[in-house]
Each structure stands twice: as structure tokens, then as C-alpha cells.
Amino acid sequence: MKAILKLLLPVGIVGMLIISSCKDPVIPIEYPHVANYTNESIYKWNELFLQIERYAKGYRPGPAPRALGYMGLSAYEACAPGMVEYKSIASRYIGLDLPTLKQDKSIYWPEVVNASYAYLMRRFFEKTSFTDGITNQNMIDRINSLENELEAKYLQLSNEVNLNNSKAWGQDVARAVWAWSATDVYGHEAYLNPQPIDYTPPVGDGLWVQTQPGDGGRAMFPRWGNVRLLGTKTIQDLKVKPPYWTNNSDPNSVIYNQAKEVIALNQETKDHPQEEFAHIAQFWSDDRVGMTFSPPSRLLAIADQLYLLEQVNLETAVAVNAQLGLALNDASVACWYNKYVYNVERPVTYINRNIDPNWTVGWLGFTPAFPAYPSGHSTFGGTGSRILANAFIDNTQFTDRCHEGRTDFLGAPRTYGLITKSGIENALSRIPLGVHFRMDCDTGLDLGEKVAQSILDLDWTK
């Protein structure tokens, strides 16, 4: 009898465990769809980023799109469990260790986005200095204020349990993404040293030289080509050799004639400062810290306008923000890699040496402190317009009101019948502005579109 009891005891214990486990089953929650909500949380955080980045020192041109890439990825991965059309892409990133959402947690997705963006924006700007007398604490206060404003609103639309779960989940994903971003040694906090004194540019005919005197003219982000790519496989896939060399002073050469084109179109802006060429040049400039947001962030501003125009839901906005951020990050890396591989001189240097020693760019008053080829504006424009054309259909007519109401430059709205046409105009605006050859713009557009396609080719959908 004792032997029988010994044999039955383990079975009895197992049975008791089974019965006990049946008392409190964990029933997986069917999450509400992210698509059920408006794009408000994405839109408002985008707008705040544009306001903060406008004054941020050292953030243009590389750190801004890098921040957009990681913030977009974090919100996307945090929302992936509740997305209908999209799925996680985290498995492609070596070293990114994301948490798992517990199946017994109820979630309110707008708060997930709010918590994710608030956490990362604080981290990306926590050591930043700003222009115009703005303190770092001023900007951190604005981040905290928006987070609290949305959190209070979402508490009224949800409940305390949902809000707490959602906030914790958004922060947990953002914390993991931030930890991973910090392992990118070339990109992490690069804004603190945008013009390193230990970099010496190569010397030679047709190679880039400083176009501004003093420390402000030192090369900006000469090592940005080593920053982590977020979608493209390898940087070598994005190498683009210049079609023409600027050490050719022959008046019959292609580069000489491109320099003449720069002079002619730039002269149009000087002779007719209120007309079309001047409008295009100034409308797309975004070169001055404190005056406007940076060139890559301009594409985010356009995205926000399209979100409102098309009244997209939160799922679409989260996905497009992620795709746009990853693409702009990779565009910055690809462009700056080529800039410092080839070190092509700026038009002002070529023109002063070969055509007119007294020529200047005019309205802008300076030439950006890095090599010409390829054009950053063109690369960002090609990238961003391709991502947005894919999301909204290219022939979506829209009016870019990014600078509407500005009186310090020509910021009147411009209307486009094709999204990609805005990218082309963005690129070619650099010729009448006087800072790029046509080859810089043409190659930049092509490179940007190639980067965008590499992002769109990722395994996004279910």
C-alpha cells in the first residue's frame, strides 16, 4: 500500500498543480489596433522636434536625422504588437535587445508613442547647447510639458491602469533603443564635437579647402561616414564616384560649364531678389542654425503636413516616421561618406581660381563647411520625397507651408503636383544659392532614392 502511495504521490501533486493553474489562467489580451487612433501623438512630437532642433548646436546635418531614426524605430517597435499591417523589424539589428510585452497588460497606444518619444528626446538633447539665449533646461522643460499634456489627455480617454502600462512599455522599449544607439561610437553624442580639431583635410588640386576663415570653417563631421546604418547593408553599396573632376580648368570642360551655370543662376537671385530663382534658393535653404530647422528635418515637416492633409491614422504615421527616420539617417551617412572619400571642392573655390576671383555666393553669405560632392540637400530630398511618395502616392498635390509667414527670407508656400518634384526642387535649389555644382545635385538625388529604396525593401509588412 505504501508503495502504491509513493507511486501515486507525484501524480497527485501534478494533478493539484494542474487544477491550481486552471484557477487563474493568463488570458492573452487582444490589443486594440494602433490604426484605431489619430496621428496626434506622432504629429505633436514631430512638431516639437522641429522647434527644438532649429536652435540646437551641432545637430545639423548628421545628428538630427540620426535622432529621428532611433526615435522612429523605438515608437514603431513599441507599437508593433498592435499593428494590423506592419510587423517588427528588430531581428535585423545585431545587439538590439528589446523587451517583450506581457500578454496580460492592457495598452493605450497613443500613450506608448508619447512615452517613447519623450524618453528619447530627453536623452538625445540632454547635453545640447542652443542658440538665441535658449538654455538646455528651457528645451527639456518643453519636452516634459508636452509629455505631461498628452498624458493628462490620454488619462481622460483611457484609465489609470492602461496609462501606466502604456507609459512603462513605451519607456522600456525606448530605454533599450537608447542603450543600443549609445554603442555606435561614431554617432553617439557626435553633436558635441562637430568640427574636430584633430582632422586634417587632404591637400591637392581640386580638393576641398575651407571656405570660411577660422574655426567655424573647419570640416564638419569628417568621420560621419562611419556612423551606423539602419537599413542599408553596407556603406560600400553607396559609394558614388564623381563624374567630373574640378581640377579641370578647360573652358570647354563639363565642370567649367557647370561652374558658369552656378554663376548665371546665382546672378539671377542677386538681380531679382524677389523672383523665382531667389524664392527657390531661400525657400529650401535651411542652412542657418536658429533661423529654421535643418535640411533633413525639413522632410519631417513635410511629412507632418501630409499627415494632416491625408488624415492618416496612428499606425500609418508611426510606420512612415520610422521609414523616414531610418532613411534620413542612412542618407546622412552615405552622403558624408562620399563627401570625405572624394573631398570635392566647392564652386566658390573653383570659380575664384578659374573664372572670377571676386565672386561670392550672395544671399546666404557663406558656403557650408564640408566638401561639395554629393549635395546633402539633394540626398535628403531624394530620400525623403521617395519615402513620402511611397506612403502617400506620388501624385498627391500638396502645398509646402513650412515657412509660411516668414518675413526674414522668401518663405511663401510652394505647391507641388508630385511629391518627388518637391525633392527635385530641393536638390536643384542649391545651384542658384551658389553652393553646389549640378553634378552634386544630380548624384545626391540618385543616391537618396537608392537609400530610400533600401529602407522600403525591409520586411515591414505581415
pLDDT tens track for 241-293:
999 999 999 999 999 999 999 999 999 999 999 999 999 999 999 999 999 99
Q: What contacts 407, CB < 8 A, 6 or more positions away?
A: none
pLDDT at res. 28 = 55
pLDDT at res. 17 = 34
Q: Measure CA 276 to chain center.
A: 28
Is 255 a domain residue?
Answer: yes
Q: What contacts 139, CB < 8 A, 6 or more positions away?
A: 52, 55, 125, 128, 130
Phi, psi of 73 (to 5 degrees): -65, -40
Q: Can you tell me the distance from the alpha carbon of 98 to that of 298, in angstroms, rounded to the nearest whole number?
A: 30
Alpha helices in 214-271 (DSSP H): 254-271
pLDDT at res. 284 = 98
pLDDT at res. 105 = 82
Q: What is the CATH number of the domain that holds 154?
A: 1.10.606.20
Q: Mean pLDDT score of the chain, rounded to an integer?
A: 93
Taking alpha carbons only, the member of 263, 432, 447 closest to residue 355 is 263
Q: What is the DSSP letter of 373?
A: S
pLDDT at res. 103 = 82
Is the pLDDT reported for residue 6 higher than 50? no
Lowest mean pLDDT segment, chosen from 32-36, 126-130, 285-289, 419-423: 32-36
Q: Contact at 8 Å (CB) between 287 and 211? A: no
Residue 75, C-alpha cell as written in the block: 515608437
Residues 297-311 have a mean pLDDT of 98
Tell me the torsion sign for CA atoms 51, 53, 57, 60. negative
Is 20 a domain residue?
Answer: no
Is the pLDDT reported for residue 9 higher than 50? no
Q: Which domain holds residue 429?
A: 34-456
**Confidence grade of residue 14 (pLDDT, cut at 50, 70, 90):** very low
pLDDT at res. 20 = 38
Lowest mean pLDDT segment, chosen from 68-82, 102-116, 290-304, 370-384: 102-116
Is 17 a domain residue?
Answer: no
Is 113 a domain residue?
Answer: yes
Q: Can you tell me the distance from the alpha carbon of 35 to that of 328, in angstroms, rounded to the nearest whole number?
A: 25
What is the pTM (predicted TM-score) of this model? 0.93
pLDDT at res. 232 = 85
Is 18 a domain residue?
Answer: no
Q: Contact at 8 Å (CB) between 73 and 326? A: yes
pLDDT at res. 5 = 33
State percent of the chain over pLDDT 70. 94
Residues 132-150 have a mean pLDDT of 98
Is the pLDDT reported for residue 158 higher than 50? yes
One-letter identity of residue 44: K
State percent of the chain over pLDDT 90. 91
Is 7 a domain residue?
Answer: no
- How many domains is the chain built from? 1
Is 184 a domain residue?
Answer: yes
Is the pLDDT reported for residue 153 higher than 90? yes
Is 66 a domain residue?
Answer: yes
pLDDT at res. 29 = 61
Q: Can you tell me the distance from the alpha carbon of 15 to that of 9, in angstroms, rounded to the nearest whole number?
A: 10
pLDDT in tens, 76-96: 999 999 999 999 999 999 999
